[in-house]
Amino acid sequence: MPHSPALSSPPPLRLGLAMWSHPHWQQSLYGRGCKSGERLARYAEVFHAVEGNTTFYAVPNATTVRNWHAATPEDFRFTFKLPQTITHQHQLQHCDQLLADFFTTLSPLADKIGLWKVQLPAQFGPLALPALERLLTRFPRQYPVGVEVRHPAFFAKGEEEQQLNRLLIEHGANRIIMDSRPVFAAEPTTEAVIEAHQNKPRVPVHAIATSTQPMIRFIGHPDDASNDAFFANWLARLPLWLRAGKQPYLFVHTPDNNRAPELAVRLYQQLLHHAPDLALPNVELPKPADSAQFSLL
C-alpha cells in the first residue's frame, strides 16, 4: 500500500502509540485483510511516531531494521529504547561496546529516529548521575535523546531533581514525562487495569521541557471520557511548548491498548479545537465503510 504524501514540513507535534502491531486494531486501524507484516505501514499512514519498546528486550536483526525503514514514510519517527542490558543490568556502567553495537545495528534507521530513549530503573538514583553524565557526554551529538527516571528523589523538587534537570539541559537531553494519573484513577476491576497498577510507575507529573522535544507518555483510563480531565493540563502546556518552537511527542497508552488509537485521536482532536491557531495537521482513523483508506492531512 503506498504511503500518504509526505508532509511539507515536520508535524509540530508527533502523535503515536506504545506499539505499531496489535491484533485488536485489525478493524479500527489497519483495515480488513491487513496482514501482520503490513501493520507498520498501515500504522504510519495515521500516526507520526511510535514508541519502539521492542529494542528494550532484544536487538533486531539487520533485515528487520531495513524492513522497518522501507515500511514508513520519510517524515515518520521511531523512538527506540536502549536495551535493558545497558540501562537496567549494567545501569550505564561499562557499556560502551554494547551501545556502539546497538547504534550500528539500528543505523539504517538513523534518519527516522525521533529520540533514543534511556529508561532508567527506580533504583537509579542521584548517586548514579555521574554514569548518566558519562553516557550523555559520549552520546553521538547528532542523536536526539530522552531520559526517563523513576527514582523518588527526582520528583521531590529538591536539589537532586534540580541536579538532574541541569544535567539534561546541559546536554540537550529531553526529560521523558510519565503521566500515569488516568490509569491509577481507574478501579482495579479488570485484569488489564490490575496489571497496569502493578507495573506502571506512579510518579508525579513534572511537565518540564529540558530540551526541544519533550515527550509525554500518557497512560490512559480504560473509559475514554474519563481521560479528559487529566488531559486538560496538557491542553494548556502543549500549546505553550509549540508556540515556543518545541516539537513535543505525545504517546498514548491504555491498560490493554485495545482502544489506544481511538483515545489518541480523541485527545488530539481536543488539542486541535483548543488551539486552532497552531494549524496542527488533522489525524483521523479510517472510516468503517472505507477501512482501507487513511487520512493524515
62: CATH: 3.20.20.410
Residue 161 within a domain:
yes
Domain count for the chain: 1
pTM, two decimals, is 0.92
Helix ranges, 88-227 (H): 96-106, 129-138, 159-170, 181-184, 191-199
pLDDT of residue 141: 84
Interval 88-103: pLDDT, tens: 999 999 999 999 999 9
Residue 3 within a domain:
no
Burial class (CB in 10 A: 0-12, 13-18, 19+), 91: middle
Residue 181 within a domain:
yes
Residue 7 within a domain:
no
Spans of the chain, pLDDT less than 50: 1-7, 289-297
Order of strands across the sheet with 116-119? 77-80, 49-52, 14-17, 249-253, 215-219, 174-179, 145-148, 116-119
Q: CA-to-CA distance for 205 and 196, rounded, in angstroms?
A: 17
Residue 5 within a domain:
no
Residue 271 within a domain:
yes
Interval 90-148: pLDDT, tens: 999 999 999 999 999 999 999 999 999 999 999 999 999 999 999 999 998 889 999 99
Q: Which domain holds residue 192?
A: 14-290
Residue 296 within a domain:
no
pLDDT of residue 4: 41
